[in-house]
């Protein structure tokens, strides 16, 4: 199937009808007469143990349980159903089609990451769906300030973040466990992949790059290696496939700026990773600093971090000259103190606090501090005193944002809903 597209809702109803049981999570909102469905997550996963949960309050309920497939299908179709003793009313017939995404293992989408590939279908909530109140939730379950916080805790076991806004009425997940890449280790001259899966007959593993590829057959779960006589080539692709269908994959371009690092990929010696990061030079997503900046250089770095967060993210490398020569951080003060100094600068001068991760990379005995900033989905300001300034990245330069860019940034900021 394609990596993305549309699927008829009737096809999803038929798929659910064929299942003896599915795992569901339901968020319900109480109005004057009914318990109405606000959000539903369904996992079509046979035989997976489930710890059932039920949080009930006067105005909301959150349920996690196993349901017969036909019951879930009826809810998706728009039919009222009794669930855990609660008469659940869906908000009318759903959309005629669902958005479809096929995701590799370890790929985060909608705050969810799984160790195996999966297919997800989503159906958006329309205006007729009941909106939760803002009251305190106190009842048969943990207490919360409001519905949004309760839902985030119930679904993700994480604090609520407005930047994780979702508008899905339905989210249906089908695990794809035929085969996946459990762990990849990249050394200076060898790439090792641990392959897992339930159906690997006829599968092949191939490492591809611009100048060629290395295929090898997969004889079941296990460890497979690829020699790297010249190191890992820029823009390499590791593909687990069967004939013309992919089972799982990993891509190794210059690292994806500002996004969460893939825990399944281990750089045995971080030096090669840094070399790949520097391959494209300074630009829209990369800024280099010789040392922890002071004065005007400090202001420039903080403005750049605000600009990265306001758009698609980026990385600041401290310990690298403008000509991309890796010189490392000074020996004094200690590296951890230099890192804390930068973290303090960001905390004091960028509002709201931007999404980022700081880490130290060791390259041939030289320490480089990487500040990896995620795109935050809204505008972030550099603050000096009471004055707030907004910036964007244009190529290798950080420039003041124009009025229409600032307005667009605030318009795209997510509203305070639960998803």
b/e code 388-405 from CB counts within 10 Å (16+ = b): eebbbbeeeebeebeeeb
How many angstroms separate the CA atoms of 138 and 146, rounded? Answer: 10
Residue-averaged pLDDT of the chain: 87
Identify whether residues 333 and 381 lie together within a single domain: yes
* Strand 397-400 versus strand 21-30 pairing type: unpaired
CA angle 184, 185, 189 (to 5 degrees): 130
Identify whether residues 312 and 366 lie together within a single domain: yes
Q: Which of 129-143, 181-195, 327-341 shows the lowest per-residue confidence on average (mean pLDDT)?
A: 129-143
Identify whether residues 87 and 171 lie together within a single domain: yes
Give the model's confidence band at 128: pLDDT under 50 very low, under 70 low, under 90 confident, else very high: low
Residue 267 located in a structural domain:
no
Nearest to 311 by CA among 392, 202, 210: 392
* Strand 366-374 versus strand 313-318 pairing type: antiparallel
- Give the torsion through C-alpha atoms of 304, 308, 314, 316, to 10 deg: 20
Identify whether residues 158 and 12 lie together within a single domain: yes
Other C-beta atoms closer than 10 Å to the C-beta of 48 total 10
Identify whether residues 37 and 151 lie together within a single domain: yes
Task: Return the pLDDT at 415.
Answer: 38
Identify whether residues 52 and 188 lie together within a single domain: no
Q: Is the pLDDT of residue 257 over 80?
A: no
Give the model's confidence band at 163: pLDDT under 50 very low, under 70 low, under 90 confident, else very high: very low
Identify whether residues 242 and 101 lie together within a single domain: no
What pLDDT, in 10s, does the model give residues 51-91? 899 999 999 999 999 999 999 999 999 999 999 889 999 98
Helix (H) or strand (E) holding 343: helix 335-349
Q: Is the pLDDT of residue 129 over 80?
A: no
Nearest to 267 by CA among 395, 362, 346, 337: 362
With a pLDDT cut of 70, the percent of the chain lying above it is 90
What pLDDT, in 10s, does the model give residues 144-154? 999 989 998 99
- The per-residue DSSP string of 13-31 comes to HHHHHT-SEEEEEEEEEE-
What pLDDT, in 10s, does the model give residues 198-256? 999 999 999 999 999 999 999 999 999 999 988 888 889 999 999 999 999 999 875 54
- CATH number, domain containing residue 218: 2.60.40
User: Which residues, in sequence order, are bridge partners of residue 362?
Assistant: 367
Say if CB 354 and CB 345 are below 8 A apart.
no
How many angstroms separate the CA atoms of 406 and 384, rounded? Answer: 18
Number of domains composing the chain: 3
Task: Return the pLDDT at 67.
Answer: 94
Identify whether residues 160 and 193 lie together within a single domain: no
Residue 184 located in a structural domain:
yes
Structure-token pair, residue 160: 């609520």
User: Which residues, in sequence order, are bridge partners of residue 191?
Assistant: 186, 226
The parent domain of residue 286 ranges over: 275-411
Q: Which residue did the predictor score with more confidence, 46 or 121?
A: 121
How many angstroms separate the CA atoms of 127 and 91, rounded? Answer: 10
Whole-Å CA distances, 101 to 5, 163, 317: 7, 21, 34
Task: Return the pLDDT at 348.
Answer: 92
Task: Return the pLDDT at 165.
Answer: 52
Domain end point (choices 144, 175, 206): 175
Q: What average pLDDT does this structure show over 181-210?
A: 94
Nearest to 311 by CA among 397, 391, 248: 391
Task: Return the pLDDT at 21.
Answer: 93
How many angstroms separate the CA atoms of 271 and 361, rounded? Answer: 7
Q: Is the pLDDT of residue 4 over 80?
A: no
Say if CB 245 and CB 333 are below 8 A apart.
no
Identify whether residues 219 and 168 lie together within a single domain: no
Structure-token pair, residue 8: 């008829």
Q: Is 83 helix (H, G, I), strand (E, B) or coil?
A: strand
Q: Is 196 helix (H, G, I), strand (E, B) or coil?
A: strand
How many angstroms separate the CA atoms of 245 and 345, rounded? Answer: 48
- CATH number, domain containing residue 373: 3.30.950
Task: Return the pLDDT at 277.
Answer: 74
Q: Is the pTM for the entire model greater than 0.95?
A: no
How many angstroms separate the CA atoms of 251 and 236, rounded? Answer: 6
Give the model's confidence band at 271: pLDDT under 50 very low, under 70 low, under 90 confident, else very high: low
Q: Is the pLDDT of residue 419 over 70?
A: no
Identify whether residues 188 and 157 lie together within a single domain: no
């Amino acid at each position: 199937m394609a990596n993305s597209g549309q699927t008829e809702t009737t096809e999803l109803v038929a798929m659910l009808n064929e299942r003896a049981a599915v795992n569901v999570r339901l968020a319900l909102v109480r109005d004057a007469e009914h318990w109405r469905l606000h959000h539903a997550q369904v996992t079509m996963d046979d035989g997976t143990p489930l710890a059932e949960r039920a949080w009930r309050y006067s105005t909301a309920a959150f349920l996690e349980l196993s349901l017969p497939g036909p019951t879930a299908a009826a809810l998706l179709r728009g039919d009222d159903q009794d669930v855990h003793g609660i008469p659940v009313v869906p908000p009318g017939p759903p959309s005629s089609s669902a958005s479809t995404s096929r995701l590799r293992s370890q790929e985060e989408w909608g705050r969810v990451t799984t160790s195996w590939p999966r297919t997800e279908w989503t159906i958006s909530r329309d205006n007729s769906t009941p909106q939760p109140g803002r009251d305190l939730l106190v009842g048969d379950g943990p207490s919360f300030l409001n519905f949004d916080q309760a839902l985030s805790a119930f679904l993700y076991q994480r604090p609520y973040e407005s930047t994780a806004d979702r508008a899905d009425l339905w989210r249906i997940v089908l695990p794809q466990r035929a085969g996946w890449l459990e762990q990849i280790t990249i050394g200076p001259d060898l790439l090792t992949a641990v392959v897992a899966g339930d159906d690997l007959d006829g599968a092949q593993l191939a490492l591809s790059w611009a100048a060629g590829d290395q295929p090898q057959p997969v004889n079941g779960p296990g460890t497979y290696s690829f020699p790297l006589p010249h190191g890992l080539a820029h823009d390499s692709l590791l593909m687990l496939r069967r004939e013309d269908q992919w089972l799982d994959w990993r891509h190794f371009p210059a690292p994806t700026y500002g996004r969460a690092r893939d825990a399944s990929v281990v750089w045995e010696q971080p030096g090669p990773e840094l070399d790949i990061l520097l391959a494209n030079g300074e630009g829209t997503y990369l800024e280099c600093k010789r040392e922890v900046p002071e004065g005007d250089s400090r202001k420039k770095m903080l403005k750049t971090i605000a600009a990265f967060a306001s758009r698609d993210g980026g990385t600041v490398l401290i310990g690298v000259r403008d000509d991309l020569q890796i010189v490392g951080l000074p020996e004094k003060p200690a590296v951890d103190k230099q890192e804390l100094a930068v973290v303090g600068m960001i905390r004091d001068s960028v509002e709201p606090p931007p999404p980022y991760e700081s880490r130290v990379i060791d390259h041939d005995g030289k320490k480089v501090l990487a500040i990896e900033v995620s795109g935050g989905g809204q505008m972030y300001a550099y603050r000096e005193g009471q004055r707030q300034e907004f910036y964007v990245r244009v190529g290798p330069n950080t420039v003041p944002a124009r009025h229409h860019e600032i307005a667009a940034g605030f318009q795209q900021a997510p509203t305070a809903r639960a998803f």
